[in-house]
Chains A and B, each alone.
Chain A
């Protein structure tokens, strides 16, 4: 062993200094290398706050879809890298992180937002920077930006068919409606359109009632009392149109069941209700309540079998803190979104937003829902199928009704 002397000390120090300096010089080098390296996709899904339980799982689905595409050789010679973030269920933070991702991380497209209020806050950001936001939730419509891809359905192809079903003789011939929602843009706009729709059908204004509660409201006792009183008043069968979001959904359903109201007395149409909301509830007393989405886990077809298998494998592999046997519509929509983006980028031969946007026309994809979903040159909406689900004993939804095909999405409501 050589003695530790002054010379060796100097040599070592110099070596260390050079080693430390190298990364400082490296960034320009790495940056230029990255242009031909992986292409980045940004996720705007909260893993903390009131939306965490629902949005969190989408980060993993986006990665899973990217892995699938990478395994098949990537897009335009690049592999996809998914960048995740945590906007913490704080709506303005979605915009801030979205801006960072577009300007600094240079993502090719954004995937994200659950609530409409978060989408509305990201909207100006993607419009200013000419970015692309893939939005995986069904929503209130009345918006048509060239910078947002509406992967899920506007009301005309989700809520209205479900309400029609309830009003039909096959449903319960509903005559009266109790609307209860969280106090923000999605429930208010949906309810406004529903009221317009009912007016156009000649239903009196006295036949409905509207109530709103704050975000993460949980004390539904009084409201369920009001629903009972409203349902027992004369005028025909009453249904509840539920547009509360997040943790308010299980709280509402629990109180509803505890006060002894079953789906055969007053059915609830939960527009934002998914399997994840029923976790931890005794659904035996809630059997028969409804939801409507563009995908339900029990959808038939090979694409769904394959999707459920990949999700289950992915959760096992990565240890993601979500149930491996639960798949919800926004997960499938996010999965569809990543694939649609990859198909468009491949068709365009570029990752530039204007080029990718042009390539949307005529895309079609075998969605796990069993429908062939497609896009047209007319707008950035994706045409999806419609499912009406019915709560079963095992905290899932059975398919009660599904549309024969994918109705053409109508962005602007006439009501």
Chain B
């Protein structure tokens, strides 16, 4: 093994320091290596990374194509090796059109994958056509800057035409000099790294405390200490932000799942155990919308979540109204029967979906605007799908609030909630209000299903995961108040997230449940009890 490492190192050094300007890459040899076993593939990646700095632009472009083909498995190692593409195969060494596209594609081992990714990024830094491409390549290299030859960044900065990007390249190049023999360069590298406040930089800088220069060089010691302190300070902030964001995103899911229940349970005292299945129906309707869009208007496919909003709401509200009119209405005086009946309905719906659609998880297209996340600061990453859920929950909250407080329907709902008999005496059609409220509650559950599509798995059983949590939130918040539901979901979400890293996810669930029980002992009506007479 050591012999192999020495050999690989020798090759890297040989190619990096042979010092001929515009040294051409030995394309045929590298392709042969890339088609060899895992060991020689390592050498090929090393040769590409080391070679691009001194290679011609043409060679760099070829290096980017070849490493990309190795990563995406379009490199076919026949004789001659070719790169398969939809437009037609090309020879792997010359990129000239090739006739055959046979041969097996070598599979990158776990060790070789990052090496080829680095090689592709390094090559793209030189050969990328647009500034965006080169910028993305630089971001990919930034994390592995220390393992790259420093002159790679110097050469890239020389070749760069865009002023802003040139600055960035120089900056990354500076950070790569952490182990340079020149102490002043090391200090500027430390300063440079300390600007980014993630844990990896902390590990890097704090690791220098064992460096011999730390004990001997006063300026170096000061720089390291200042760097560690500054990163630690910002790490604390980013950790706090992370916790807040996680809590908020969990709370948004809890709120979405329980908002409908708060209205149904609050208004009618109906324990609707089929609420989770309304969430599931909402998700399945979203899926149907996606499939229709895929067939009818593929251009709109990226926006299916938005298109689906009114459809999902109306469809689940319709199912809710139907359920109310056929079943729940007849059982208002018998709460226990409602509980059993809605449970039966939930089993019926689950099994209908299982028989009709199947038990597998549904495949949702992840819209381009919703995959991945944005690294805001240090280790604080905002994932788009969670942000969508948070924004969606906030919008739902506002709309529900407007409906309840600013519309005649809302006025009626509130009147019936507070005093059903008196509302009836004043001429409000309480039965009709019940039906509308049940529809509204079901529609909200359907929207929860829509919001969950990009986050959770959608299958017939998904609803049962939410029913316990949403009852917990509704009871804690106080039956029949939207504000209570909001505060309760925020509280439960945040407390869960705070406890989880300390005692684990299992204990977090238990502790939250115990806290809720204790709280309900103190305030049996929950956070916000509706003042009024309930029968």
Contact = CB atoms under 8 A, between A and B. Distances in A.
Interface of A: 47-50, 52-53, 56, 166, 169-173, 183, 211-214, 216-219, 221-223, 225-226, 228-229, 232-234, 247, 250-251, 254-255, 257-260, 263-265, 267, 276, 279-280, 282, 285, 287-288, 290, 321-323, 390, 392-393, 398-400
B368 to A, nearest CB: 10
A257 B385 CA distance: 12
B110 interface: yes
B354 A48 contact: yes
Contact of A228 (B199, B351, B462): B199
Interface string B463-505: 0010000000000000000000000000000001100110011
A323 to B, nearest CB: 7
B487 to A, nearest CB: 20
Contacts of B506: 183, 212-214
Contact of B385 (A53, A219, A258): A258
B226 interface: no
Contact-residue size bin, chain B (C-beta under 8 Å from the other chain): 35 or more
Nearest to B374: A260
Contact of B500 (A223, A276, A393): A223
A192 B199 CA distance: 29
Given A171-B110, A232-B202, A247-B361, 12 more contacts: A166-B110, A211-B505, A212-B505, A212-B506, A218-B465, A225-B242, A260-B375, A260-B381, A280-B457, A321-B354, A321-B359, A392-B73
Contact of A251 (B351, B360, B457): B457
A184 B86 CA distance: 48
B203 A263 contact: no
Nearest to B497: A222
Closest 8 CB pairs of A and B: A264-B114, A321-B358, A232-B199, A213-B505, A280-B361, A280-B363, A232-B200, A52-B359
B360 A276 contact: yes
Contact of B250 (A52, A53, A211, A221): A221
B149 interface: no
Contact of B461 (A49, A233, A288, A290): A49
B38 interface: yes
B360 A260 contact: no
A304 to B, nearest CB: 17
A59 to B, nearest CB: 12
Which label, helix, strand, loop or mixed, suits the secondary structure of the A interface?
A: loop
A280 B364 contact: yes
Contacts of B186: none
Contacts of B366: 282
Given A170-B38, A221-B249, A322 B207 contact: no
B88 interface: no
Interface string B380-421: 010111100000000000000000000000000000000000
Nearest to B380: A225
A221 B360 contact: no
22 contacts: A48-B461, A52-B459, A170-B111, A171-B111, A172-B110, A173-B111, A183-B506, A211-B504, A212-B506, A213-B506, A214-B505, A214-B509, A232-B203, A247-B457, A258-B384, A263-B113, A264-B114, A264-B117, A279-B360, A280-B361, A321-B358, A392-B73
Contact of B381 (A223, A259, A263): A259
Interface in B216-253: 242-243, 246, 249-250, 253
Given A258-B385, A260-B372, A260-B373, A288 B501 contact: no
